[in-house]
Structure formats: C-alpha cells, structure tokens
Amino acid sequence: MLKGIFISLLVHRFQIANSKPKRAINLYYLIWILTLFFRLRWIYEVYFISFIVISTYYLFEAFGYTALGKGGINVIGFISGLVVCEVSAFNILFLVSLTLMLIIYNIFFDNLKLGFNKVINSNLGKNINHKVIVNNRIFNFIKSIILELKLW
C-alpha cells in the first residue's frame, strides 16, 4: 500500500513537471543515474529498456516534433516510482520517510505555485506587499488542513 501511495505521488510530481516536457525527462534521468548504484538485475532490465524509449522521446521533443502526453508522463512516473520503491525496499523507514516528504512537498509546492501565479498575474505583484499576500495564502491553506484534521 505504501509503495502504491509513493508511486502515485511520484506520477503526480511528474505531471506537474510536464508543463515543460524536458523537466520531466530530466527528472527521469536523475532517478536513472541514482539507480545505477544498486545491483538489482531486473531494475536494470526495466530501466534500460525505458531509457531507450524515453531518449527517443527526448530527441523528438528537443527538435520540436512531438511532446510527451499524459500517458507518456504516467509511464515515466510509474517506472521511476516502481524502481525507487524496489531500491528502497530494504528499509521500510526510509520508504515511509520518502513518502511523507513527497506528500509534504506536493502540498506545499502546489499551493506555493498557485499563490505566486495569482500574485504575479495580478497588479499586486508590483507592490512590496506581494510576499505578505503569498505567505497569508500559504498560512490559510495550512490552517485549513489543520482544521480538517481537528488539530488546531
């Protein structure tokens, strides 16, 4: 169950990075480089096959012929999540901490991105107070989560 949560969160992270497809592919390459340090044979097989396919997408995208769709990003996120889960399967506490960090990062980064986009796109972005507005939105978002958990 924990692996499923981690994989779905990583797929969500890849979908956010897909606003520019090179970001998602570069994130995939980073995870690919990190897995070279582990000695699980089937991980190498799955990852090298996907490396060839994604490298082709990367070249096509670099020359403007195509872009990854949602399906391509979901496949990249699933393969990356599966490999990270299997690499970290030796230590359940490590996997739990990775999942919790990814949950916190998804919640905080999405809200921060929305807050900055609203402030930058409005006329208030030119004022000095735009940092205060963004911080208040983040605080209100965190406060609403705490109120939902009845911990406030």
pLDDT of residue 130: 45
pLDDT of residue 146: 60
Instruction: Tell me which of 150 and 13 has the higher pLDDT.
Output: 13
Mean pLDDT of the chain: 64
What domain range includes position 146? 92-152
pLDDT of residue 124: 45
105 band by pLDDT with thresholds 50, 70 and 90: confident
**In a shared domain, residues 101 and 67:** no
42: how many CB neighbours lie within 10 A of its CB? 9
Q: Which residue's entry shows tokens 């990814």? A: 102
**In a shared domain, residues 31 and 86:** yes
**In a shared domain, residues 97 and 30:** no
**In a shared domain, residues 71 and 36:** yes
**In a shared domain, residues 106 and 76:** no
Residue 128 has pLDDT above 70, yes or no: no
What's the mean pLDDT in 99-111? 69
**In a shared domain, residues 81 and 30:** yes
Instruction: Tell me which of 82 and 43 has the higher pLDDT.
Output: 82
What residue spans of 18-129 are helical by DSSP H?
21-35, 41-62, 70-87, 92-121
Q: Choose among 24, 25, 30: nearest CA to 12.
A: 24
**In a shared domain, residues 101 and 85:** no
Highest mean pLDDT among 28-37, 79-88, 110-119: 79-88
Predicted TM-score (pTM) of the model is 0.47
What's the mean pLDDT in 126-143? 53
Alpha carbon dihedral 138, 140, 144, 149, in 10-degree steps, equals 70
Interatomic CA distance for residues 115 and 120, integer angstroms: 9
pLDDT of residue 76: 72
Domain boundary at 67, 90, 113, which?
A: 90
Residue 127 has pLDDT above 60, yes or no: no
**In a shared domain, residues 1 and 68:** yes
Interatomic CA distance for residues 119 and 127, integer angstroms: 10
pLDDT for 25-48, tens place per residue? 676 777 777 666 766 666 666 666
152 band by pLDDT with thresholds 50, 70 and 90: very low
